[in-house]
Every structure is written in C-alpha cells, then in structure tokens.
Amino acid sequence: MSRIPQRFAQLAARGRKALIPFITAGDPSLEATVPVMHALVEAGADVVELGVPFSDPMADGPTIQRSSERALARGAGMAWVLEAVRRFRERDGDTPVVLMGYLNPVEIRGAEAFARQAAEAGVDGVLLVDLPPEEAPEFRAAFAAHDVDLVLLASPTTPDARLSMLLANARGYLYYVSFAGVTGAFGIRDAASAAAMATDADGVVVGSALVAALADAADAAEASRRATAFLAPLRAALD
C-alpha cells in the first residue's frame, strides 16, 4: 500500500480534508523545487503533486504550460524529477508524492522500469493525463506491483457507466476536473474556492494559482516563503 490511502484514512479519522498543492518540478528554479516541497508540507499540505515538465502539455492551461517550458529549458526531465523526489525523501518519509504528467516519458522507459524507478525514488502515485484507463492494464499492473497508485480523472461530462469503471480502477484518489474543456481545470485559486470545493470532496488540489505565485521568485528561499504564504490560508479554510 502506498502512503496515499494511509494519509486519506488518517485525515478521515480526524474529520479533515486533504490539501494537495501542485508545483512544476524545476520551476521557478531547479534549486527551489525540493525546498518548496518541504515548505508546502510545513504549511499544511497533505499530499504534494509534482508536475513532470513535458514538451507538449496539451491538457494544461497557459500558466502551467509556460512553467513546463521554463523547467524543460533548465533540464528538468524525468530523471531529474525522480532525483528531486529522492532528495525530498531524505527529510520526509511520510508525505505522499504524486507525479502528474504525460504518457510519453513513461512509455519510453517502459511501464515496469518506470514503476520500479518511481517506487525506488519514493513516488506514491502517478497521474498520466493522456492515458485512457481502457488502455492502461499494463501500466496498472506494473504500478500495482510496486505499490505506486495510478490516479485517474473524471469530469462533469463523464457518463455514469464510465464513472463506475473509473471508480473501480482508480487507486490513491480520483480526480474530478471541475470545469469541462480541452485543458480542464480544478478551479481552486484561494481559500474561499478551496473551502467551497471541499464541501463535496475528500480533498482539493490547487495548481495554476500556486505556480503563478512562485513563477518569478528570485531564489529558493523566496519561493519557499511564497509557497507558505499562499498555502497557509487554504489550510486554515479547510480546517
């Protein structure tokens, strides 16, 4: 079992909702990524979601697309992302880490090899936005063998029959994309929207607004301060 179901069980026992911040690995700098991850945990994150930069992030909005471009220009490929998770694990062995990205960098390695590498680095879950669950049995089996959860997506337009299939196959948690469209969105940008969404969900994910807040931080220390300042009000709103 990965850390994710354990964390959600702990939260449920305390009557709390999960706060899951998303940052792009390698942005605003390579040096800032791990310190920002720790800062987010200290500010109340229950799970940290790390975006894997990709050259064609067609399912992301403009803020995360630009962030991914900047990170790739700095050299934040998959190998670097996994190493960042390893460094995070040197201080934090408890907080679940989920990688969010696209199929191609995983497929290049092969499902089994990637699952093994991710587990060895300390990854708990992976969300591949362009992997249809109907085409995922190889990945699902490889991930399960290494206790890495394959996180799936649902949207406002998901038919009931497909939703049942997603619920049966999802591991870790099931994402609900709150706005329909090519890029989708989760719609969480501040304390008020986080509290509103948490009424009907076990947790909330905040991505673009946080990525934007960090984008022009001068160094790792400033990025960490900004991460704390951004996330703390959301944690308070959920509690």
Is 49 catalytic? The answer is: yes
| Single-letter amino acid, residue 103 | L
127: Cβ contacts below 8 Å, ≥ 6 apart = 49, 98, 99, 100, 101, 150, 151, 152, 153, 175
Distances (CA, A) of 43 to 19, 21, 32, 196, 205: 10, 11, 16, 20, 15
Q: What is the DSSP letter of 114?
A: H
- The residue ranges of DSSP E strands in the chain, in sequence order, are 18-24, 48-51, 97-101, 125-128, 149-150, 152-154, 174-176, 203-206
Is 120 catalytic? The answer is: no
List 27, 46, 60, 124, catalytic entry? 60
List 49, 107, 216, 239, catalytic entry? 49
Q: Which of the residues are catalytic?
A: 49, 60
